[in-house]
A and B are shown apart, each in its own frame.
Chain A
Amino acid sequence: MPAPLDTTEKITQYAHPDRLVSTDWLAEHLGQQGIVVVESDEDVLLYETGHIPGAVKIDWHTDLNDPDTRDYIDGKEFAQLLGSKGIGRDTTLVVYGDKNNWWAAYAAWVFTLFGHEDVRLLDGGRGKWIAEGRETTTDVPAPDTVEYPVVERDDVTIRAFKEDVLAHVGNGPLVDIRSPQEFTGERLHIPDYPEEGVLRGGHIPTARNVPWATAVAEDGTYKSREQLEAIYQEGGLGLASDDEVVTYCRIGERSSHTWFALTYLLGFDKVRNYDGSWTEWGNAVRVPIAKGTEPGEAPASLA
């Protein structure tokens, strides 16, 4: 049975209020049967320094990525991973992490590829929980292994591959959520981040730039529905909730954060995240890019 919803006014305004919980809600429901809290961070050691009591750790890189192929783990490995964390198919997952939930949103997106039904984000993530002086612990839970079914990953509904994006250019909106400097091509990577070896700077032709942080309030929570609508819909980017949208960034983590906002907070039902993102597109052979602040035209070769 799914855990009760957070009925805070801000959250009930969203299109899918069953996808986000506040820190108050989590504090109140912590330890309840049927809820597992998952921490997913950029810093692989952060969980070990202290985490929300009872939370298990799932690392995007060492747990969710396949070590050999640039892809995610398969259904069997996913079943093993979640089962080993005490997560069943009907468990309510509350995911949180550092960096305004980038990696938490990314984990939530991967869980959704496998069709896990009840995945919620902790609004404001690790930063807000800590800032509020709430309890943390270094005790690592040792959950009993649970049977999790082997489910085939759905790579169609919310995931886009390079070929999908090539077909999409000129036919639907593309949202590039990287920094303006990455978008124009002035920079090849996020300021102060590791250089991942991209050959060219710029963006996918026709993409428009709405940096991920635009969706975030000062305390790291998502902005209200009204504010998000003004950014992405009428008066802003002009997207309609039935548009087929593709989001991308550098490796797909920041764009998961925007995928989540468009899909669950605004109710778009056809948003795909292109996880190959700029580290694939910027290096791929015979793939066109655009430079500068303008989205650019769809190249004739793609028409």
Chain B
Amino acid sequence: MSTTTDPSGDPVAELPASLAEIRDEFLAVPERERLQLLLEFANELPDLPERYASAPGMLERVEECQSPVRAFAEVDGESVVHFYATAPAEAPTTRGFASILAQGVSGLTAQQVLDIPDEFPLQIGLTRAISPLRLNGMSGMLTRAKRQIREQLATHP
């Protein structure tokens, strides 16, 4: 990951390719169609792996989300991150956010995830289509994922 500078002169961490691709996908379509794209992500949210599906209590509740969503970022023995989440069908926006992170974060190294800019949710062109308040939900998921990763690195460095 390289570092560039934004117009104000502050260094800005570049997005990992997986997230940059998702961002570009959103920015490539007109604002109105971005909702439809988010819905596609919502529909693609993978089911939980068996060990979590049978014990959803292992996943942490994301309080910033308007709907009950549980998510967990797991660091495996190779220091690669896997992001799992579950949210009900009647919460498609939340499912969409979770799916973006599941697709964009899984497979990255722990350090790459920790380096994702916290303002990533504001960079995918949904601020007007969705409202900043609703985007808090994705920020909450990202913040928690980073904390979970730090905790695991601290326990099993």
Contacts and interface: CB of A to CB of B under 8 A. Distances in A.
A67 interface: yes
A291 B46 CA distance: 44
Interface in B102-151: 128-131, 133-134, 136-137, 140
Contacts, number: 62
Contact of A61 (B65, B67, B89, B131): B131
Interface stretch (A43-51, A83-91, A112-120, A270-278): A43-51
A62 B129 CA distance: 7
Contacts of A48: 35-36, 39, 92
Interface residues of B, number: 28
Given A61-B134, A192-B61, A45 B39 contact: yes
Contacts of A67: 128
B66 A43 contact: yes
B67 A194 contact: no
Interface residues of A, number: 16
B129 A61 contact: no
A46 B65 contact: no
A98 B94 CA distance: 14
A194 B131 CA distance: 13
B63 A192 contact: yes
A45 B35 contact: yes
Contact of A195 (B91, B92, B94, B136): B136
Given A43-B91, A43-B92, A48-B39, A194 B128 contact: no
Interface of B: 35-36, 38-39, 42, 61, 63-68, 89-94, 96, 128-131, 133-134, 136-137, 140
